[in-house]
Structure 1
Amino acid sequence: MEKLIAELARLYLAPESVTREVLASHILGRTTLAIKLTTADGLVRALAIPFRKIFGDGEAGHWDRLCVVANALQAELGLPAPAVSIDGASAYRLWLSLETPVPAGEAQDFLELLRKTYFPGVELAPDAATAPVYLPPCLNPRSGKWAAFIHPGMGASFAEESGLEVTPPLAGQAGFLESVESIAEDQFRNALRALERRQAPAAVPAAALAEPVSTAASDALAAEAFVLQAQAGAPAPAPARPKAAPDGLLLKDATLEDIVRRLHAMNIEPTFRFLAPR
């Protein structure tokens, strides 16, 4: 618990945003709170970008859209890899940590420019940069399922339903966050300027600048999703083959051995349990 709280505070929370006791209750599912990612004077400490299904998406269009943005943040804008979460219902989020909090207007401008450049078919709320959010891990109050941080390689497995039936292990959640880096102030400024140039009248259309994204191995994604369920201590059926997810800096082809090796590196011991057919 303490390690997870420390990681959440390091990456996303202003010191005055929530007490340790309240956050612990939220993490354990006793309460679910919409938590501010802003400081007392209104500066934005972190950004949580939602990716929900929209008409015409098909099974995993919202996941594909997240992958394009996550890869562009790194390959084209020079930012650290964001954390990825499922929201406990039907959406994903990308989590960007800001080393130095920025004014709300700049943060909203950044999100809007990012939207116009990489996912123009989706609308963002006018207060997307400052609205309180359900910080994972927590119970989604509408679905009753768990929101959680996930390894990017397993994301496509949650395309139909982005929630866990069982409480995610706290050590695993901390493990997913410990390698995440905050965006330095100069990195944020450079990325903001790059997005502004993209949207200038003479800018080349984003579609012409974006490199094609290949597909990752669906078997590896299914295996990783199975590992998460097994980690959580719940029996799980043999995983179905999900729709393959885009590949890139964020998402890599992986074997089951790669996945287990990665979990071991985070001091997470996966277990494998199957439901016997009835």
Structure 2
Amino acid sequence: MGTRLHTELHRLYGPGASASPTAGLDGLIDEDGQVRAMALSLGRPADWEAISGVWQAVQSDLSLPAPGIAVSGMDSYQLWFSLDEAVPAAQAQAFVEALRVRYLSAMAPSRVTLLPGRAPEATRVLPPASEWEWPAGALPPQQIGTDQWSAFVAPDLAPIFADTPWLDIPPSLDGQAELLSRLRSIKPGAWQSARALLTPAPAEAPASPTAEPSGSPGPHQDPWRFLLQVMNDATVPMASRIEAAKALLPYTKRSEGPASGS
């Protein structure tokens, strides 16, 4: 792999800023289980209209830099996201899952692949990195099959790969490096803002039942005493107090409530 291309791949997707630029990029997960790369693939069949909608939305809705666009070499379009600072793989996976739910919920889950992904339990050896995995050769460019290569592609050329999401000749390493040089990583502040925008707002707690005014009749209060309490209760709305006063008006000259049978 060309030196310039490897440098660009490491700049964007290498698992740790402290790692050597010449280190391998197969794993993309550091020994602490953290990543700087995330990928979302849509395939079986490849659907440029849908994946381009996500590509545009993360820029317009979430104010993130444009992710890299790639063809998988088999059956999918891919979006590759780069983080300026590594985050736990679980956090990265939750982010691309939130993108799927927000923008690709109409697609069958079997058509969408999210990376990093959970490793099968049988292959887990040492936590925390072993809980997550990247398939070997996931990061383009790679030869996937006979005359089929995965590769990063320019946005204006991506639609032509809808029926055949691969290159049938090896991609130019300098061309791949040039495409990657235009991409930018997601800064920590933008990352946190985007995560907040994708997190559903907590449901509002139901309003507490309105407390009855202190003048509400008790089990042994008669109507006259109830109206008197309402009229004198400062916590009761003024309109209700006025109505209570009107009801009591015929009895204002009495020292007691109306006598029964009068």
Task: Name the TM-score class by shorter chain.
Answer: 0.5 to 0.7
SS of 2:163's equivalent in the other structure is: coil
CA distance in 2 between partners of 1:200 and 1:64 (Å): 32
CA distance in 2 between partners of 1:102 and 1:22 (Å): 19
Deviation at 1:128, TM superposition (A): 3.8
Summarize the alignment of residues 1-278 of structure 1 with structure 2, pairs less than 5 Å apart.
Answer: 1-14=2-15, 20=22, 35-53=26-44, 62-120=47-105, 121-123=107-109, 124=112, 128-129=116-117, 130-133=132-135, 134-140=138-144, 142=145, 144-197=147-200
| Deviation readout 1:173-226 (Å, 9 max, x if unpaired) | 0000001000011111110110113x6558xxxxxxxxxxxxxxxxxxxxxxxx
Taking a change above 3 Å as real, the CA distance of residues 127 and 163 of structure 1, as seen in their structure-2 partners, is: closer
| Deviation readout 1:95-135 (Å, 9 max, x if unpaired) | 10011111122112111111111001242568645431421
Taking a change above 3 Å as real, the CA distance of residues 135 and 125 of structure 1, as seen in their structure-2 partners, is: closer
Matched with 1:253 is none
Question: Are 2:14 and 2:36, in contact at CA under 8 Å, matched by a contact in 1?
Answer: yes
CA distance in 1 between partners of 2:172 and 2:113 (Å): 32
Deviation at 1:2, TM superposition (A): 1.2
Show structure 2 runs of 5+ residues with no match. Answer: 118-131, 205-262
CA distance in 2 between partners of 1:20 and 1:144 (Å): 28
CA distance in 1 between partners of 2:43 and 2:22 (Å): 30
Q: Which of these two proteins has the greater Rg computed from alpha carbons?
A: 2
CA distance in 1 between partners of 2:177 and 2:115 (Å): 28
Question: Are 1:17 and 1:38, in contact at CA under 8 Å, matched by a contact in 2?
Answer: no
Taking a change above 3 Å as real, the CA distance of residues 127 and 181 of structure 1, as seen in their structure-2 partners, is: closer
TM-score normalised to structure 1 length = 0.60
SS of 2:36's equivalent in the other structure is: strand
CA distance in 2 between partners of 1:114 and 1:53 (Å): 19
TM-score normalised to structure 2 length = 0.63
Paired residues in the alignment total 183
SS of 2:79's equivalent in the other structure is: strand
Show structure 1 runs of 5+ residues with no match. Answer: 24-34, 55-59, 203-278
